[in-house]
Structure 1
Amino acid sequence: MTRSNMKRLFHFLLMISTVCLAAAETEMIDLDTINPSFNTPMSWYPNKGAAFTPLPTVTYSVEQGRKAMRISNVQGKDGCRFDCYRNYPVLNGDRIILTAEVKGKGKGIFTVQAYSGKKWMGHIGIKDFKVPSEWDRVQVSFDIVDLSEKDMTDGVICMFGAGKGSDFQLRSLKFERVAEIAGNTAFPNIWTAFLPMDADYQPTKQELTSIPAALNGVKPRKVQFAGGEHDFKPDFENKPGPLPHGAGNCAWLFAEINAPQDEDYTIGAGADWWMQVNVNGKAVIDTLKDGNTHHPPRITDHKTTVRLKKGRNLLAVKYVTGAGSSVLALGGPNELRGVGQKIRIVEELFKDDFENAQARRPGNPQIIQGEYSYALVGPSRQGVYTTARKLAFEPARSEYTMPKIASGKSFGMSFRLIRFGKDDARLAFRFSDPKNGKSCVLEFLSRTGGDLEINILDNGKNAGSFRYPAKWIPMDVMFSATALGEYKLALETLVDSSVRNYSGKSTFFADINDAMFRIDAVLETLGGKSAQVLLDDWICGYAMPDQIRKMIPMDIRVEDTFDPKKAGWKLILDEEFDGDSLNPDLWTRTFAMKGIQLKDGFLELRATRKPAGNGKVIYETNGFSTVKKYSYGYYEARVRVRDCSGWITAFWLYGGQTGNSYLDGMEVDVYEDYYVFPGKPLLDFNFHGFVGRVMKSWNYVATLPGSSRDFYTIGCKWTPFEITYYINGKAIRSTANHSPHKTITYDALNHRNGFAPLHLCFYGKITAEYGAGKPIEDKGEFPDVFKIDYVRVWEYPRQEDPVVKWTRREQPLIVEPGEKFELEADVTPNPRTNSPIKGVYLFDSGCLIDYKDKPPYKFTVSIDDKYYSGTNYMRTGRSREKPNLQSVLHAYAIYAQDARGRVGHTNAVIKMTRPQKKSTPYQGKAQVIPGRVNPSFYDEGGNGVGYLDDNVNVNGKAGFRKDEGVDTNGEWIGHTITGEWVNLTVDIKKAGKYRVEMDYGAPDTCGGSMLMLLDDEKLLGTFEMPGRGSGWGGLKTGLRNIELPAGRHTLKLIVIGAYNYSWLTFSEEK
């Protein structure tokens, strides 16, 4: 808005009576003064639109001494409506309440429309009510919003009416304005600050009512807020760190508000982490005890409405920060009203940019090379749909599923409307359920020489009507709807980039649940001429608000600085490398001590060379890992990264496999130095793990603050909802398009989580310059060394986490595709803190799929596209591959977060869908029990039927089943990933109890377990297969007293971990 417009608005608002802000009721209808032209109360008139005609009968009577208006004989298609000329002042954030005294039968209807000055902006809403049979008061409320980013809503007009067939009397209609956001006076953005202050200092009453020249001996300085926020981190002499409340990072801020008159005034504030806002010496917002409770801080975190006096008013704010982030957010009513949302499609399910002219499209549009005037956009190909009467068309993908509420997403459709509105025509996009015929229609009506009329028709009823100037075409249209039935329509003209926003309720989208719906469109002429529309960039998919805070309440609090010792975390590994060799109780090596040397308190990792014949050598290096696995905690090492090309080094957390982050682990690369070059020390930070047999990966990059010859303490903080990386105790700054954070942070909302314990690992890898492990000409001694000073691990404290337990764990592991099953947890606050539960979340294999904010915490799940569509499980990582749902292993866990941000969770419950075809014995012959069973003779039927393994047999050169996916040489199966399985058809000669012994192999850092099922119904047992030694064979595991029935049956072996496995020997228990 221009400054002149702001001034006009300001002067207009000054003329508004402050009585409305005080929520007084105003009578809207005067039954004693009747307009004879319409037989209606003065200032009211009947709407003569086609949907409201024929007009109803209006009569008047006196009952109990009061006059009443009777409306009868309502025969219009949409009933009747009476409109009013009077404009009532409101502002964004207000709530208005309409109260009517009525009696009769049928349905009453209230309609509220928004204005900006004299400009009609659209509908705030349409709401109906049941008319009581006896005299009674009926109240309906409407929330006021800005329907345009350019023009503020400053007034409304109100209408009332009745549904078809209704007959009722009305004797009073009142308007009440409740200002959630009150006031108009500008809020200061330049403040007088005193810092650093003693956090225990309390200003005097006089100091809180005028800006002091000095405060407790501290001189003032000016600070300026931008966008309602200021980061005090550079202002404090002692840089903020993870300090307790009152430890020394405190500031007092003062500013004046000059009010032209007495007025109610809303203030919003948020802080990282404690604050107290005073107005004229009185505290009105105070979080000094409990902290902000929201992160990151925003002016919407804490709001209050105060009474300003005419003239000078003083704001005094105490601010205390104990974190590396020192952001204080402050704003007044105008800043609060400006808090908005822009919707964008984040997951495209269908897109047609019309660049492929040969593609076949419903409606057979002509593809042209477009030319825009005024250099609005660059030329592109466009689709021209033309009809002499009526043309039906649809997107190439026409069926969709609503995203779940937990995804934070809505369904969205966008397109660029390049030309429409020259002639009388109708363009409509219909979202429909073919099973019941219900629908929601986005309709554009064009009249020659007039504005566009845009309607939202919800199950045949008008849920919103808006006018839009045809001269503002071309425009971008974005329509979105949530599973709660909330729709938003954004129209952005390319003429001046201004945006008009409209919103409302749709019962169609609220009721669709997880059912499939279709999209189709129609273009038709409303006159004698043909109708035509030009479209471009037609997209359907899942959309999200373009805002920092997500729809799902999850507290992800990234600390800019972190010291685990000061935070009270327990040190559980402290390796200084003071000896002569690695401690075998702590570490396991890839190749004995090759390339590893402990010297002067450092571990040095080098590349060595060995003769390869013919004058050539092989350069090789080493890696080492902790024997023990660790879970949540803080991991750090003081290292000097590589400086020369020819190899790479890394520090990472790894479970031996990345098949499932709840069952066997994930890969958290604390750093990898792929991109370190002389003069350019750039590190890579990756996060990997499989979901539904598809690898999901994300990464950040960041530059070291010094040279590659310097030592750095590089750390990683891993908690239930967050993984953040640190250098020298400070969160590493970086951004990526997959993350809202400005630090290298992976979180459970935007990425994934996991709780399977991980090894701490270091390794080196030779690159092509030095042969990549193959013989090359001798280049002499390798010129570089990777040094580690120390390694430390601190354990994340769990004593104050919420208590989360499964209510029932004994459930079938195998379910049918689409079969509904329930997962429920008992969630209680931690008994030490009694902090209330704020959110409960359901995850599948580390991916958020649903949430609830109140008990019972019961989730009804089905493993199919309808349920999972739009959830984090289906989001892709860098691979862009969508995870599989059927026949793969699903590991569910329920998490709960309390008001303090602490998180507790269950362990994992496993599910898998039953294959839809039955496997058959290998070469038609079942294996026999008792006896030896060879898992390499797994059943026939193919991938997803007889086995699950997505890769081609890497052991195919052995000539055994080389064209199938299982990695086998005929006796051993290897290269396993969690979730792989094989079916084995067996003939059991005798029912009874058996023992089974299995051959397997796994080195120290690998291993895992294996589930054995009978006929996809009964879990017979779980083989424990720990890693031992350095080989991939020679180990045995077993089960005792398993009950087997006689006859032909199918055993299913499900892999969890990384190992080789071979023969199973079944014998009867004695």
Structure 2
Amino acid sequence: MRLMPIVIFSLFSLFSAGFTGDVDVNGAFNGKGSQGLPSGWTFNAYAGFRPNPEIKRNDGELSFGQAKGKNGFGVNSKPFPVSPGGKVSLYAEIRGSGMAYFRIHLLNKTGKWLGLGIPKNLKLRDDWQKIELELPVANTKPDELTAQARIMFGTGSGGKLAIRNLKAGFKPGRYIAGRGGFPRGWKLYLPVDPKFTPKPEDLLKIPAVFGGAAAKDIHPDGVFFDLKNAFGVQKTGNCAWLFNELTVSKPAEFTIGAGADWWITVYINGKPVIDTSKTGNVSGKLEISNQTGTVWLKKGRNTVAVRYVTGAGSSRLCIGGPDDFSDRESFKMVKYCFFDDFEKPMKRSGQPEITSGIISSGLLVSTRKGKYGSNAVLLPKMKIAIPLSLTDARFAWGFRLYELNGTLSGIMGKTVLKFTRSGGDIQAGLEENGKTIFTMPVPISLLPADLLFTAGMDGKCNLTVKSLADSSRHRRNGRIHPPKSVLLELSDGSSVEIDLLQSGLAMPEEQKKRFPFKLTPAKYFDPVKAGWKLAFEEYFEGTQPDPARWMNKYPDHVYLDGKGHLIIKADFDQKKQLRSGGLTSRQFFGYGWYEARLKFTRQPGWWSAFWLFGTGNHPMLDGIEIDIYEDYYTRKAKTGDPLTLDHNVHTSTGTTQKSWNYLSTIPAAEADQFHTIACKRTPFEISLYLDGRLIAARAAHSDYDSVTFDPFFHGGSPVKLNAIFSGIPMRTWGRSWSDPAKGKFPEYFMVDYFRFYEYPADRLPAVRWKKTVKTDLRLLRPGTKFVFEAEAEPSLKTESPVREMYLMDNGAMIASSTNPDCQFEISIDPLYYANTPYVNPGRSGIVPGLDGLHGFAVFARDAAGMGSCTEPQFVLIVPDRPTSPYQGKAAKLPGIVNPAFYDEGGNGAAYSDSKGNFFNKPGKKTFRPGEDVDAAGNVIGRVVAGEWLKYTVDIESAGDYRAVLNYGTPVRGRNHRLYLFIDGIPEPAGIFTLKPHKEPHWKCSEKAEIRTVRLPKGRHRLVLVPVGAFNFSNLEFTKSNQ
């Protein structure tokens, strides 16, 4: 398992991605205002700030002499518009002595002063320091909405301050006011006539009888109610009322969130706060953020009344208070005090046994883990300090949990978070001074799972459990005294297996809109009725698969039964090893409808799968993996339980692999029947269907209620893919249901037919690059700005207008435009890519870096939802870092460049490759120890798109040269290339085109050439960039006239 390097963020870098700088407060300090200040600035009139300090102004720098006021001094900007829930962002360069502060004054729309925001205090230094802060905007007065703000800054008494380059911005946000939630005990009244209209005074107290229905006690599941059983019959128009009380000691602002399937009205003290009685729950997915309203609660008791009317789909509704919104909040680590992924040898507390295995079912990536025994201290007592300037930061610690027996405790002073298991599921419990704050079940079925505990300076705390098994997310919130340290230890007789052990600071993840249009997958889809053309069909007639259409390496396990079925058998061989096989289409298929009729399997130790795959995992070059289904979880079902299927998409961004999954179920009574399962694949959608219906599922990684992937939450690919049916023996997964010894064999995976319907090309918009580029691959330095221009036209057949254009990088959206004649200026750097889908981690939790090969394409979408894209253009970022020739000897040209003698300087300077040298085996002599390039002798092997190698060469004379490369590959269906760059020039000096040989070996027995490559005289650096799957050996340069 490979993780990105740990990054320790500075105060400046934490907020740079969110800074807007769109508010004019005269931060250049120009013009003349009152009392010697720049225009738009005034001294604060507070008596404790008098007398005003001396002022000096010099070329944009504003300096204040020693503050002589009792409380220092303060200056105010002119007002600017804001709204509650947003944040004022500030950037400045400051220096001086003492403590500086920055805060905002809050005003209503007429300029009436409402109060002060929370200050940010900073210690001043003699040298200039860059700062960037965020100041939250809130409401402070009943019935007075904050509409404007003024920036105020200054120092305490005796302080001195110089400031320059002040910039300000405002970022709107969702306003959540108040604290707490609703009491768990509600009163329920049903059935009630939906036409019943109570008087306002009837909503001021909890009644014994309401609308003719007597009160019943009911408790929600978190914030959700399901009244289906209470109603008895699911239908449109069932009506119920719910009542509760909120008691506060003084008037307080309070935000309510609600959602319903389908109509809901929420009243506070007889007045409607939320009302969807006319529109219904138009926001889609049911959650408390569907509808929000903020009210001022009066001192004492406040009556809450909820009117609910069902739609046809379900009887579910939800309602919550301010703390319940934080239950939806996600956090990410931004500063590590400690991190261990168990990949490297090191001295570890608790002396864990280092084990190896896959990350998760469906995520077959090898990783190392730590297995700790009785009384082990996993994390010695460690202090974690939250800077005062980071009001949103939280104390945090966590780990990836694989197995637990006994009790694991996180001790934070008088606060303890315990995870306990004694044979069944895990129970999490948070206690403080012996008082239970919350409990939370963690079913074993969720493991492996990422556990993260966070706590803020305000005492709000949160435990999040994110399952890698089913992509669900579970949370519990509470309030504790802010912790300052954590110690993680096992109790006597306990054991635990974990990965990614960490502690430090966490920040809320940016919850920005991640998709620019609403994708609504069709509940039912018929490609024939949609006019999609049948392009391929296979009914498996005969006794063996047609070798012209299918690749079959396992004829003993993969054959036809003569009755129109493909059979894939799983059985033991003579060595008692479970064997199976698979069938792969020779044809590659693009966007369209993939459909198969088949039976799922049940026996432990193997699983069946219907999946799509290209020739690699680069989404713009050689494809992605779409697991239409894998049925390993059917082994876990008990008699009568529904069967579980797993559905995955695996792709990559740069060198980081990403994966997402959904789980779905099949009734046990239908388990052994034939089922038709299908994949609808378009430029903006991958949706899966079972027996003609969109498969229902939910996962934390998306807003869909179906098995749907897209390039805004996940990733996509325009590359054509093979269709594959396979039986796969399990690795040692450490689960009883994966043990083949408990199965009954042989077992047979049976497929009735396979069909593919093409996405209709004649109905697609035409999109193309506006400028012809010399090459499809450019080599650039980090931070280089470059431009993409594209244009699109409606389909000639449909004339549907083009609505949106999207710039995709490796299948993930990074920019969009509503102009069909568009231009995108980008640079591959953290600031530009922050908060784009590109850097969203998949199930592994690894945040992608920006290294590796970037494949760009512009996608066009028309008013009918049809889409198409340009041909890809590739960019590779190669840092300009110093290197030296291998063993001090540069290759001389004309002559031979041994590819294994790449420069010295390490990963990221002399080469890019981090998967380890395959040829360096334990017990054998190691070539270039400590380096990751797959090199041996004069051969480079196991290349991956995005890798590169740098060579220092001495060229005898300038002129035209002929370059000949020795290589070998048996892989067909790919465009194998090796690019040659010189001295960092963006365009390649030449490109080797590599054709596969007929033999199945990888020996470098073939030759490719660049007939003419112009080389300059003297010492220069060559960069070789492989794209494809091949080995390559010596590269010889000769003068073209020789």
2:654 corresponds to 1:669 = no
Contact 1:938 1:983 survives alignment (8 Å): yes
**What percent identity do the matched residue pairs reach?**
29
Which residue matches 1:967? 934
- In 2, the alpha carbon distance for the partners of 1:1010 and 1:143 equals 48
Equivalent residue runs for 1:903-1052 within 5 Å: 903-927=867-891, 933-957=897-921, 959=925, 961=927, 963=929, 964-988=931-955, 991-992=959-960, 994=962, 996-1004=964-972, 1008-1017=976-985, 1018-1025=987-994, 1031-1033=1000-1002, 1036=1006, 1038-1047=1008-1017, 1048-1052=1019-1023
2:853 corresponds to 1:889: yes
Q: CA deviation at 1:575?
A: 0.8
Specify every segment of 5 or more residues in structure 1 that has no aligned partner in the other structure, as ranges: 1-46, 55-75, 83-90, 94-107, 130-141, 153-183, 188-219, 232-252, 257-262, 273-291, 303-316, 320-324, 383-412, 419-473, 478-491, 496-536
1:578 CA drift (Å):
0.9
Q: 1:143 to 1:874 in 2, by over 3 A?
A: closer
* Count of matched residue pairs: 697
> Residue type of the partner of 1:961?
F
Kindly indicate whether the alpha-carbon contact (under 8 Å) linking 2:285 and 2:705 is maintained by their aligned counterparts in 1: no
Q: What pairs with 1:171-570 in structure 2 (closer than 5 Å)?
A: 222=237, 230=261, 344-350=329-335, 357-359=381-383, 361=385, 369-370=413-414, 378-379=431-432, 416-417=456-457, 540-545=506-511, 550=513, 552-570=515-533
Q: How far apart, in 1, do the equivalents of 2:177 and 2:968 lie?
A: 66
Query: Contact 1:297–1:328 at 8 Å: present in 2 too?
Result: no
Name the CA shift for 1:906/1:270 in 2 (closer, same or farther; >3 Å). farther
State the Cα distance separating 1:761 from its structure 2 match: 1.6
Structure 2 vs 1, CA of residues 752 and 357 (structure 1 numbering), >3 Å: closer, same or farther? same
Cα deviation 1:568-590 (Å, max 9, x = unaligned): 22221101111332222221223
Q: Which amino acid aligns with 1:807?
A: K
For residues 808-887 of structure 1, what are the structure 2 equivalents within 5 Å? 808=771, 810=773, 813-830=778-795, 832-853=797-818, 857-886=822-851
Q: CA deviation at 1:300?
A: 12
Residue equivalent to 1:689: 651
**2:601 is equivalent to residue 601 of structure 1:** no
SS in 1 for 2:111: strand
Partners of 1:151 and 1:770 in 2: how far apart? Answer: 42
State which of 574, 585, 596 in structure 2 corresponds to 1:637.
596
In structure 2, relative to structure 1, the CA distance for the partners of 1:938 and 1:561 (3 Å cut) is same
Match of 2:616 among 638, 657, 661: 657
CA, structure 1 residues 342+544, in 2 after alignment: closer, same or farther (shift >3 Å)? farther
Offset of 1:806 from its aligned partner? 2.7
Counterpart selection for 1:733 from 696, 701, 704: 696
Residue 1025 of structure 2 is matched in structure 1 by: 1054
Q: For residue 193 of structure 1, what is the aligned residue in structure 2?
A: none
1:585 and 2:548 matched:
yes
Indicate the SS of the match to 2:831. helix
Q: In 1, Cα distance between the equivalents of 2:838 and 2:1032?
A: 30
Structure 2 CA distance for partners of 1:1030 and 1:802, relative to 1, 3 Å: same
Give the whole-Å Cα distance in 2 for the aligned partners of 1:825 and 1:185.
62
Aligned residue type for 1:975: R
1:900 alignment partner, one of 864, 867, 882? 864
Contact 2:780 2:875 in 1 (8 A): yes
Structure 2 stretches of 5 or more lacking a match?
A: 1-43, 52-72, 86-108, 116-137, 152-171, 183-199, 204-234, 242-257, 266-271, 292-308, 339-378, 389-394, 396-410, 417-428, 436-452, 463-476, 481-502
2:383 aligned partner, one-letter code: A
The answer to whether the 8 Å contact 1:112/1:124 transfers is no
Instruction: Give the drift of 1:296.
Output: 6.9
- 1:685 aligned counterpart, secondary structure: strand
Match of 1:524 in 2: none
C-alpha contact 2:337 2:384 (8 A) present in aligned 1: no
Give, in angstroms, the shift of residue 1012 of structure 1: 2.6
Question: 1:1019 Cα deviation (Å)?
Answer: 0.9
Q: Report the CA distance shift for 1:770/1:849 in structure 2 as closer, same or farther (over 3 A).
A: closer
Q: Specify whether residues 622 and 826 from structure 1 end up closer, same or farther in structure 2 by C-alpha distance, changes over 3 A only.
A: same
Higher-Rg member (1/2): 1
**Higher mean displacement: 572-581 or 973-982:** 973-982
Q: Tell me the secondary structure at the aligned position of residue 110 of structure 1.
A: coil
Change beyond 3 A, Cα 1:113–1:631? farther
Conserved? CA contact 2:554–2:581, under 8 Å:
yes
Separation in structure 1 between the aligned mates of residue 77 and residue 936 of structure 2, nearest angstrom: 80
Q: CA deviation at 1:356?
A: 6.7
Q: Cα–Cα, structure 1 residues 593 and 550, in superposed 2: closer, same or farther, change >3 Å?
A: same
Please report how far the alpha carbon of residue 813 of structure 1 lies from its aligned counterpart in structure 2 after TM superposition. Answer: 1.6
Normalised by the length of structure 1, the TM-score is 0.54
Aligned-partner Cα distance in 2 for 1:81–1:643: 71
Deviations 1:326-374 (A, max 9, x none): 899999xx99xxx999972443324899x97443648899x973479xx
8 Å CA contact retained: 1:269, 1:298: no
Specify the alignment match of 1:237 in structure 2. Answer: none
SS of 2:588's equivalent in the other structure is: coil
Alignment-derived partner of residue 41 in structure 2: none
Once the two structures are TM-superposed, the CA of residue 601 in structure 1 deviates from its matched residue by: 0.8
Distance 2:592 2:202 in 1: 47
Maintained 8 Å contact 2:540/2:564: yes
Determine the C-alpha separation between the residues in 2 that align with 1:924 and 1:48: 70
Aligned-residue CA RMSD (Å): 6.0
Match of 1:627 in 2: 586
**Structure 2 CA distance, aligned partners of 1:1050 and 1:871?**
34
C-alpha change, 1:971 and 1:714, in structure 2 (3 Å) is farther
Residue aligned with 2:706, SS: coil
Please say if residues 621 and 719 of structure 2, whose CA atoms lie closer than 8 Å, have aligned partners that are also in contact. yes
Q: 1:753 Cα deviation (Å)?
A: 1.7
User: Equivalent of 1:699, from 655, 661, 668?
Assistant: 661
Find the aligned partners of 1:777 and 1:878 in 2 and give their Cα distance. Answer: 27
Aligned pair 1:110/2:75, yes or no? Answer: no
**Hey, what's the Cα distance between the residues in 2 that align with 1:79 and 1:1055?**
58
1:343–1:859 Cα change, 3 Å: farther
Shift of 1:771: 15
**Residues 684 and 933 (structure 1), Cα distance of their counterparts in 2 relative to 1, 3 Å cut:** same
C-alpha offsets along residues 717-762 of structure 1, whole Å, 9 cap, x if unaligned? 2222221222112222222222222222222121122222221122
* Amino acid of the structure 2 residue aligned with 1:716: C
The Cα offsets for residues 679-730 of structure 1, whole Å up to 9 and x where unpaired, read as: 5543222221222212112222223334543222222222222212221122
Q: 1:781 to 1:109 in 2, by over 3 A?
A: closer
Q: Tell me how far 1:790 sits from its aligned partner.
A: 1.0
The residue number in structure 1 matching 2:355 is none
Instruction: Please tell me whether the aligned partners of residues 804 and 861 of structure 2 are also in contact (alpha carbons under 8 angstroms).
Output: yes
**Is the CA contact (8 Å cut-off) linking 1:299 and 1:329 kept in structure 2?**
no
